[in-house]
Amino acid sequence: MITKFSDRLYADLNKDINAIALEEDQFIKRYEKSIHVCLKYLRKLKDYCKLNDPGTPAEEIVFFKQIKPKFKSQLIYYQSLLNLEIRKPIGDGKVVADYLTNEIKILYHFFECNLSFYQYVRTEATYLDEYYFVRGNYDVHLDPDQCVIDFDPTFSTTHDHKLAQVLASELMQEHLEHSIQKILQKEAIVQIDSEFRDFDWKQTKCALIELIYCWHATEAFGKKNLKSIVKFIEKSFNISLGNFYDTYDWLCGRPSPTVYIDEMKDAFLLRIQKKLR
């Protein structure tokens, strides 16, 4: 019964969080609102749990291992995102990337400090569930969460909060790695742009239009229409060709319509001659 209720509740939680992401562009505001939503649904889960208390150890394990940490991890995750955004340095891509990389190191430290429990969770083991996820147990040799003393004993075990931290840390690691990848990709694009920044067209517009009509006539770009080729060339060579149709009509009326193409041919043949000498 509690599983069906929690599934509906978790679906509503995700629906509200997605709605916030769509309506709120500012990250800090988005994370603040998401935290309040997570708190609201966690309280609803707690209220329902008190009215429908798990009656057996098996039901407790299901609730405190599979249900509650899923909700709690979202709260921890968005709180971590908020802290990350507030402390993010102002600067270029490298500064931010270094900051995010350091946050990943902090996560690794958390995993290392809780390695045995993390391995237990990752391998989907169950042999310690009655100690980890049943209320009232406190085994000092199983590294219990010390904060459990201050938690509501009817809504906490020694390890359900730690499991929520593990789930949130995995989400956080994925977010950090994705953010770093986006920064590196952006930096790579900027670097490529800077490498080709000086490759502007230095000859006349008429010369370039001669070439464009030749490329179109010889299907150098396949079956692309003339207008799309012009747009591509304008963007590639950082140039505006204006009304190229009128320029083409003017080229056709010249004594020699292919002045630049002839010049290119002569220059190429001269280069070959120099090589053969």
Segment-wise mean pLDDT, segments of 10 residues, the chain, 277 residues: 90 94 90 96 94 91 95 96 94 87 94 93 94 88 72 88 95 94 77 64 87 92 90 84 85 87 90 86
pLDDT given for residue 193 in this prediction: 59
Token reading at 40: 């609201």
The number of angstroms, rounded, from the C-alpha of 67 to the middle of its chain's C-alpha atoms is: 27
pLDDT at position 27: 92
Domain spans of the chain, in order of start? 2-195, 205-276
Closest-CA residue to 200 (of 168, 234, 172):
234
Q: What is the pLDDT of residue 150?
A: 66
CA gyration radius, the chain? 32
Phi–psi pair at 255, nearest 5 degrees: -55, -40
DSSP string spanning the chain? -HHHHHHHHHHHHHHHHHHHHHH--SHHHHHHHHHHHHHHHHHHHHHHHHHS---SHHHHHHIIIIIHHHHHHHHHHHHHHHHHHHHPPPS-HHHHHHHHHHHHHHHHHHHHHTHHHHHHHHTT--TTHHHHSSTT---GGG---GGGGGS-TTS--SSHHHHHHHHHHHHHHHHHHHHHHHHHHHHHHHHHHHHTTT----S-HHHHHHHHHHHHHTTTTTT--HHHHHHHHHHHHT-----HHHHHHHHHTSSSTTHHHHHHHHHHHHHHHHHH-
Contact 141, 159 (CB under 8 A): no
What pLDDT does residue 196 have? Answer: 62
Distance of alpha carbon 111 from the chain centroid: 22
The total of other beta-carbon atoms located within 10 Å of residue 90's CB is: 6
pTM for the whole structure: 0.69
In the prediction, which pLDDT does 239 show? 83
* Tokens of residue 249, six digits: 């009509």
Q: What is the pLDDT of residue 256?
A: 87
